[in-house]
């Protein structure tokens, strides 16, 4: 850890060690995650699959640094992030992680290009560069024409592609997608999934996909199955 850069190549991108998560509602404690161990290497395309209530969303929240586990360690690029403050986690989310949610989660009041520029705004970039970067990201998802439109003026599939552009604009090494096709029909869903494949292949970004849909999970290269707060299998997907 003293000279992090030397060992970076040797450490995995993500390493979860014995992660546990307990929610307390009143006097009753719900153990949502029970000792999760998971390693994800740089450039992987991992699908995390499980039924609703399996704990996969909680796992994604922890992987995405949105939530802190109640026990265990989370090493991101070799650095333990479990004990960081909420502002330090915000910075990690800003620089390292791009999110794509089921409900697209674009800000309705902002134009498409402004939505894409938002992560750059929070990393302190405000110059012309950030606009260029946003245009570049929109080009990657074939939406460079729609920058001045607003989210309610474009289709759901397009909105999800804007969300992808927003996730990649900061060149984040990790893209987390939580049921990204959940609100889309199968044609548009396949379209969106192809963009994830493209980003993984062309940009080398690590994709972590959370879904309950076996077909969608099949876009990944590795399938991790979660059940009752535990990982029950991790297998490579053969095409």
Partner 1 sequence: MNNDKENKVKFAFLLDLESAYKTLLRNKIRSFLTILGIIIGVGSVIATISIGQGASKAIQNSINSLGSNMLIVLPGSSSLGGIKSGFGVLPTLTLNDTYAIRKLPAVKTDSGNLGMNQQVVWRGNNWSTLVVGANSTFTEIRDWPVAKGTFFTHQQVVSAANVAVIGNTAATELFGLINPIGHIVIIHNVPFTVIGLLSVKGFNAFGQDQDDTVVIPITTMLEKIAGTTWVHAIAVSAKTSKDTSLAQSEITALLRQRHHIPLHKPDDFFVRNLTELAATANSSANTFTILLASIAAVSLLVGGIGIMNIMLVSVTERTKEIGIRMAIGAKKSDILKQFLIESSVLSLFGGILGIGLGFGISSAISAFSPLKTIVTTEPIIISLVFSLCVGIFFGFYPAYKASRMNPVEALRYE
**CA atoms of 224 and 47, how far apart (whole Å):** 6
Residue environment code for 78-115, b if the CB has 16+ CB neighbours within 10 A, otherwise e:
eeebbebeeeebeebbbebbbbbbbebebeeeebbbbb
Is 225 within 8 Å of 212 (Cβ atoms)?
Answer: no
Residues 6+ apart with CB under 8 A from 76: 13, 14, 65, 92, 96
CB of 221 to partner 1, least distance (A): 25
Q: Which is nearer to partner 1, 95 or 188 (CB)?
A: 95
Q: Which is nearer to partner 1, 31 or 67 (CB)?
A: 67
Q: Which is nearer to partner 1, 84 or 190 (CB)?
A: 84
CB of 65 to partner 1, least distance (A): 9
**CA atoms of 53 and 202, how far apart (whole Å):** 34
**CA atoms of 204 and 219, how far apart (whole Å):** 15
**CA atoms of 36 and 54, how far apart (whole Å):** 12
CB of 209 to partner 1, least distance (A): 17
CB of 199 to partner 1, least distance (A): 17
Q: Which is nearer to partner 1, 11 or 113 (CB)?
A: 113
**CA atoms of 36 and 155, how far apart (whole Å):** 38
Q: Which is nearer to partner 1, 15 or 93 (CB)?
A: 93
**CA atoms of 38 and 62, how far apart (whole Å):** 12
CB of 127 to partner 1, least distance (A): 6
What does the binding site for partner 1 look like in residue numbers (CB under 8 A)?
A: 61, 64, 66-67, 86-87, 90-91, 93-95, 99, 101, 105-107, 109, 118-119, 121-124, 126-127, 166, 170
Element (H, E) at 213: none
CB of 157 to partner 1, least distance (A): 19
Q: Which is nearer to partner 1, 71 or 105 (CB)?
A: 105
């Amino acid at each position: 850890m003293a000279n992090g850069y030397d060992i970076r190549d040797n450490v995995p991108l993500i390493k979860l060690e014995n992660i546990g998560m307990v929610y307390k509602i009143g006097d009753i404690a719900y153990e949502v995650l029970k000792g999760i161990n998971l390693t994800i290497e740089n450039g992987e395309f991992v699908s995390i699959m499980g039924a609703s209530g399996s704990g996969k969303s909680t796992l994604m929240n922890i992987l995405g640094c949105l939530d802190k586990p109640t026990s265990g360690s989370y090493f991101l690029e070799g650095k333990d992030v479990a004990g960081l403050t909420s502002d330090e986690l915000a910075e990690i989310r800003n620089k390292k992680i791009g999110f794509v949610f089921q409900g697209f989660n674009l800000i309705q009041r902002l134009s498409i290009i402004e939505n894409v520029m938002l992560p750059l705004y929070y990393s302190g970039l405000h110059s012309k560069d950030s606009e260029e970067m946003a245009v570049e990201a929109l080009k990657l998802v074939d939406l460079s024409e729609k920058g001045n439109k607003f989210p309610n003026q474009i289709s759901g599939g397009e909105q999800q592609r804007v969300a992808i552009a927003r996730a990649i604009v900061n060149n984040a090494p990790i893209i987390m997608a939580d049921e990204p096709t959940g609100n889309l029909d199968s044609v548009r869903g396949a379209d969106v999934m192809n963009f994830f494949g493209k980003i993984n292949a062309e940009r080398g970004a690590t994709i972590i996909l959370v879904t309950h849909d076996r077909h969608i999970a099949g876009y990944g290269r590795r399938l991790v199955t979660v059940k009752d707060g535990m990982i029950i299998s991790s297998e490579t997907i053969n095409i």
